[in-house]
Amino acid sequence: MTIAARVAAVSVLATVGRHVGVATLAGMIAGGIVGGFGGRIAMRVTGFVAGPGQVGLTTTNGNRVGDITLGGTIGVLLVGVALGVLGGLFYAVVQPWTQRLRPWHGLAFGVFLLVAAGIAVLDPVNSDFRRFGSGPLNLAMFGALFVLFGIVIAWTFDRLPAVAAADGTRARLVTGLGWLAVLLGTVLVLLAVSGLGTNPDAVPTIVVAAGLLIAATAHWRKFPALIGYAGLSLSLLAGAARLASGIPTLIEGF
């Protein structure tokens, strides 16, 4: 490899790193807002709809219906941030392909994320969706969080580069947090990969990841756009199949 080729490769890697860093940081912020606070509100609505007869019952994650605790709120916020970082990795791949949809690119990504990865939250194995409140309402509320996340992460992602490019403490903070978000995202991906061996639905998850990898490679290696859209379509089809199979269970008894 010539020196010029090495310089070009390093430049591409640096560009990819900045892109992923901004996306994961935007996901962390959007996840805290939408997944954390928005998720907490959705849980409160579910508890209210469930009625006084179910107050005190324990959910699958060990929380008691009706309890509002600081620890519980912090826990939901941390889960929202973690899921937001993973959502940021999704956005890093999908964002170059949704730009032509402006100003609806955030909405488009939210719908994409719901279809491709919604099963991660809208899990038919989680009986809480049917035990507490209204199954269809719970499905609608938590599904809407994906769409809202898409809108918020797109808005945040569009503004972070200008902050990072400026001088001063705020710019250094954004840059540092971006690399921290990349590190956290890497750890979460490794944990997810390590758990695939015990996951009965590992194949659809692998197909979704493969489609994203195809789309990312097509963009950064400047392959024909059709290859990238084919990868995204593969992720959508795999995610849609899992989500569609789980919806009847989520709204069982309606």
Give the pLDDT confidence score for residue 34 in this predicted structure: 92
> 18-22, 52-56, 110-114: which has the highest mean pLDDT?
110-114
pLDDT value of residue 94: 94
At how many degrees (to 10) do helices 70-98 and 202-220 cross? 50
Q: What is the DSSP letter of 99?
A: G
- pLDDT at position 4: 59
The pTM of the full predicted model, rounded to 2 decimals, is 0.85
The span from the CA of 216 to the CA of 232, in Å, is 9
Rounded CA-CA distance 217/205 in Å is 18
**Cβ-count burial 118-130 (b if 16+ within 10 Å, e if not):** bbbbbbbebebbb
Nearest CA-CA partner of 95 in 106, 86, 103, 82: 106
CA dist., res. 215 & res. 117, Å (int) = 16
Mean pLDDT of 152-181: 83
The secondary structure of 108-176 as a DSSP string is: HHHHHHHHHHGGGTS-TT-THHHHSS-HHHHHHHHHHHHHHHHHHHHHHHHHHHHHHHS-SHHHHHHHH
pLDDT in tens, 199-208: 667 788 889 9
The residue-averaged pLDDT of 12-25 equals 80
What are the pLDDT digits (tens) for 114-134? 999 988 887 777 666 666 667
Q: Which burial class, exposed, middle or buried, applies to 249 when counting CB atoms under 10 A from its CB (0-12, 13-18, 19+)?
A: middle
Looking at residue 254, what is its pLDDT? Answer: 47
Q: How confident is residue 107, by pLDDT bands cut at 50, 70 and 90?
A: very high
Helix axes 135-165, 70-98, angle to 10 degrees: 70
Confidence band (pLDDT; 50, 70, 90) for 70?
low
How many Å separate Cα 99 from the centre of its chain?
A: 18
pLDDT band (50, 70, 90) for residue 62: low
Tens digits of per-residue pLDDT, 186-226? 888 888 777 766 666 778 888 999 999 999 999 988 899 99
Q: CB under 8 Å to 70, separation ≥6 — which residues?
A: none
